[in-house]
A and B are shown apart, each in its own frame.
Chain A
Amino acid sequence: MARRPAACPSRLPCLVLSTALAFLGAVGCGAPDPAVTIEKARRLRDSGRPAEAVIALADLVKRTPRDFKARYELALAWHAAKKDEDALAEASSAIEIDPASPDARLLRADVLTTMGRDEEALSELRQVVATDPKHPGVHRRMGVIHARAGRLEQTLNQFEKELMVNPKDADTLTDTGVYLFQAGKIDDASARLERAVKLQPGLAQALRYLGEVRIKQKRYAEGLNLQESALEADPSNVQLVVDHAAALESYGDPHDVETVLKAALDRGLSDERIYIQLAKHERDGLRFDEAIAILKRAIEIAPGNGETHFQLAKTYATQARYDEALTEFQEANRLAPSDPYAYYYIGTILARQGKTEDAIALFRRSLELDPVNPKAHYALAKALQKTGRKQEADREFAVHGELLRRLRATKFEGVATAD
């Protein structure tokens, strides 16, 4: 938008002047207004085009290197473009220009957090606190960093401080609730999330986790309804779709699973995770051909997703189609070599083919990656037993037994009758 010229005494000269200004702007003979550039860059950034925002702002910074706002906005654009080294440099420059600005320090802290440099981020945030202990957002950020480090007390302490600054901050209430939920404090999580939802009824994350809380509390119908509301609030969130479908499969009416997943596909969410969940649903219903067709479609969409090949392999294995299963497990393993389970399943098929030593090597590899997988210990024990290594086998049988006992004592005890 062109700047509105100052008031003119008569209409004609004004018209001439404004036409001339517009002409100068069009031919680039004059620098654009920094405010206009910043506004335009924000719009680009918000619409998912941060690289273009960077171009516009870089030019502005070149022209006005000591302009705090320009540097700050450029740092934001770099951060949005996931160029964190550049974002960090630019945020630092902004701080240099205005060391008292909490915004630049918060941004630098965010960038550092993204880069995994949590201690530096915390240090930056402490400086903000020193200047302005009640600055909104700073304690929440500190809480998130502590949460990542698993420091329960500090996390909750910072979240509570943030809520003292802004008791109606639904985002912090949600973060607190999510953290409490993940820490297994279900009732405390419930209280925070309930408040968040009350303050902001359409907050998808709060609805989602309140749903999880309700499921943990065995209030299944309520939990599923909350998940549905979360999905209504954020219909393009694929993870929400998949989680809700999985919850319906376990705690609701499996008929609804297909409805939810197909509706997501109809909304244009053509994500392989949705296909994978749909295939699992078909497989649970023993409709194996349908499951296989869906998984093949998912592979077309995202050929590099190891999970799809893994699920396809499991579907084949359930039908005793071991050759096809082996091919798919091997592909899953190639795509995700750090996944312990493909090694285990390939091992089981090789063991079935009599390639016991190869199977043993695979079971051992699987256990290197996940030492507490009882299945792999059991399979290794059976394979070792087959090769006559009784002592080693007995050790593995013992580990398997112990792991099962622990699992049963914690997670699986009394889950109806089918563990």
Chain B
Amino acid sequence: MRPSLKEWRRPTENRVPHAVAAVLLAAVLALPPARAEAPAAPAGASVRFVNVAAAAGLTLQNVCGESQRTTIDETVGNGICLYDVDGDGRIDVFIPNGSRTRPFPPGQEPRSALYRNKGDGTFEDITARAGVASTGYWAQGCVFGDYDDDGEVDLFVTGFGRYILYHGLGGGRFKNVTASSGLKGRGWSTGAAFGDYDGDGRLDLYVSHYVDYDASSPPLPAPGSLKNCFYKGAPVICGPGGLKPSIGRLFHNEGNGLFRDVTQVSGLMTRPTGYGLGAVWSDLDLDGDLDLFVANDTTPNWLYRNDGRGRFTEVGAVSGAAFTEEGRAQSGMGVDAGDYDNDGLPDLIVSNFSHDYTTLRHNDGALIFTDVSMPSGIGLATLPTLGWGVGFLDYDNDGRRDIFIANGHVFTNIDDRHLGTTWKQHNQLFHNEGDGRFREVTAEAGPAFQELHSARGAAFGDFDDDGDIDIVVNNMDEAPSLLRNDGGNAAHWIGFRLIGSRRNRGAVGARVLVRAGPLRQMGEIHAGSSHNSSNDPRLHFGLGAATSVDRVEIRWPLGRVQILTALPIDRYHTLREPETASR
């Protein structure tokens, strides 16, 4: 494990004023070296998750093709996106919904849904007045972000045939501005993520694309109809292997409500060589700009190193992020970047197919990753499951990021095969033991983890503002699950909502370093991760046994550094980007 001091020793960014750098250096020298051990953790076993979705009113029935599922477009499923869309301080939920090829009777077409958090444990369906139903559109994923810096969050939705960009009007209302946005996309788009890759203060957008297919394409092949369409001897849906991959797109935010496709000029892959699903922006090499990690299904993942000047180099293979430790490409589904070992460097996790493992990659620095799935305990425990939504979260506030994985198979007939895996599966929760190992606590994490669903997207956030992280999961052919965290707030915590000053108002890409006694943690604001999903944008830090926070350092996306001390704990702090660095 690296000492957290490394974080403060990173190369000085060119955007950081020299004076600030000097202040930081002084601060570094004053810091005691990090201790290897974190404060004593509260018992993770006392945390229980209860699925309260029905009682809370999250009732949207998921539709994703026909229930028997014969083509791959019916298997990938939908995400979940969280944001306070109406500015009332509470986290609301957007649930994109799918559709099917066969027409629905009039009035019965599926729709997406936006639920307003009423603050009493229930939600109100405000889809109609919000204008985000997208009825008839076969959606996949979504991401919230204020792309025009007007202070009102916007919503981007992926799916088949086109994108949808909803411009936030405030008060939880949106207007479809796709046609005038320059966001033109055909085919099958999946995971999307906002991030300011070129440091101009505006949120750019990466959109993963999966198979080259949409409603205008020839029909997808039927199960068993091609040589690729078998799994363990049984005819199954075809693909993605054997079908033509599509190309992920990078759109530069031009600043006038328009986006420009810069996929080619920015150096991203333009040959269709990967079946893209999850995507996340993160400053993985701590050089002050956002790198891009994309999980690909059955093909090597991509890691795009940002040179800081708007150009990317794909370094997946040499970085260790593309393959397993055995040099094997996996079936990458969901992704997240988070610092699980508190060494100041964001690590990576990718969920994968059954009879393969969810891959935890430790960030060794200098953009080199080591596959630690097996020694960490994640690998073995995830072999029977097929993972989708995934995230690092500190569910028990012990100061270490744990892992949640939403699971469900793609083959509805898999149960009959006696392969040790099933269509409906338990979601999984792993407790971070602090020594590089994770312990699966699924069985002891409450009734929500006893339920079986064919889950897909998962998003993480504190719905009831009680200081612990809840989880919302989209389930195939069912209503979503809202996993309320009961007991996670037994230990102290601190949270931050960051507001950028003029540009990048959501502070996407901001990094917050929290020091509480010997405990050092790093969090980064992402807009888009997991599977087709995006999380509560607030950063949450468990404090373990610590009863105070010594120091909070905020590295704002445009380079300003803000240092705060003596902040009260057990609450969310809304912090606005200062015009100059402060202490």
Contacts and interface: CB of A to CB of B under 8 A. Distances in A.
Interface of A: 218, 220, 250-255, 284-286, 317-320, 322, 348, 352, 374-375, 377-379, 381-382, 385, 393-394, 397, 400-401, 404, 412-419
Contact of B368 (A320, A385, A416): A385
Given A319-B380, A397-B317, A400-B317, A416 B230 contact: yes
Interface in B330-380: 330-331, 352-356, 368, 374-375, 377, 379-380
B553 interface: no
Interface stretch (B135-143, B195-203, B233-241, B513-521): B233-241
Contacts of B353: 417-418
A292 to B, nearest CB: 14
B72 to A, nearest CB: 9
- By DSSP majority rule, is chain B's interface helix, strand, loop, or mixed? loop
B233 A250 contact: yes
A382 B356 CA distance: 22
B177 interface: no
Given A322-B375, A404-B329, 20 more contacts: A218-B224, A218-B230, A253-B417, A254-B420, A255-B418, A286-B420, A317-B374, A320-B379, A348-B325, A378-B327, A379-B325, A382-B320, A413-B228, A413-B241, A414-B226, A416-B236, A417-B410, A419-B241, A419-B329, A419-B331
A414 B228 contact: yes
Nearest to A255: B418
B102 interface: no
B383 interface: yes
Contacts, number: 110
A287 to B, nearest CB: 9
B375 A320 contact: yes
Of all A-B residue pairs in the complex, the 9 with the closest CB atoms, nearest first, are A378-B327, A414-B241, A251-B233, A414-B228, A414-B242, A416-B231, A220-B233, A418-B353, A417-B331
B384 interface: yes
Contact of A417 (B224, B226, B297): B297
Given A394-B318, A413-B241, A414-B239, A378 B368 contact: no
B224 to A, nearest CB: 7
B298 interface: yes
B309 interface: no
B331 to A, nearest CB: 5
Interface residues of B, number: 49
Nearest to A376: B327
A418 B374 contact: no
Question: Which residue, of B227, B327, B355, B417, has the highest number of chain A Cβ atoms within 10 A?
Answer: B327
A319 to B, nearest CB: 6
A218 B243 CA distance: 19
Nearest to A256: B418
Contacts of B419: 254
Contacts of A416: 228-232, 236, 241
Interface of B: 224, 226-234, 236, 238-243, 297-298, 300, 317-318, 320, 323, 325-331, 352-356, 368, 374-375, 377, 379-380, 383-384, 410, 417-420
A406 B383 CA distance: 27
A418 B331 contact: yes
Nearest to B410: A417
Contacts of A220: 230, 233-234
Given A286-B384, A400-B327, A250 B232 contact: yes
Contacts of B354: 418
Contacts of B231: 416-417
Contact of B377 (A320, A394, A415): A320
A101 B226 CA distance: 55
A403 to B, nearest CB: 9
Contacts of A252: 233
A397 B318 contact: yes
8 contacts: A218-B230, A220-B233, A286-B380, A286-B384, A385-B318, A414-B227, A415-B241, A419-B330
A280 to B, nearest CB: 13
A224 B226 CA distance: 20
Given A218-B227, A218-B230, A285 B420 contact: yes
Given A400-B317, A414-B239, A419 B327 contact: no
A7 B248 CA distance: 101
A412 B330 CA distance: 12
Nearest to B320: A382
Given A414-B227, A417-B297, A379 B327 contact: yes
A220 B224 CA distance: 11
Nearest to B329: A419
A393 B240 CA distance: 31
A24 B485 CA distance: 101
Nearest to A400: B327
Contacts of B368: 385
Contacts of A253: 417-418
Contacts of A413: 228, 241-242
Contacts of B226: 414
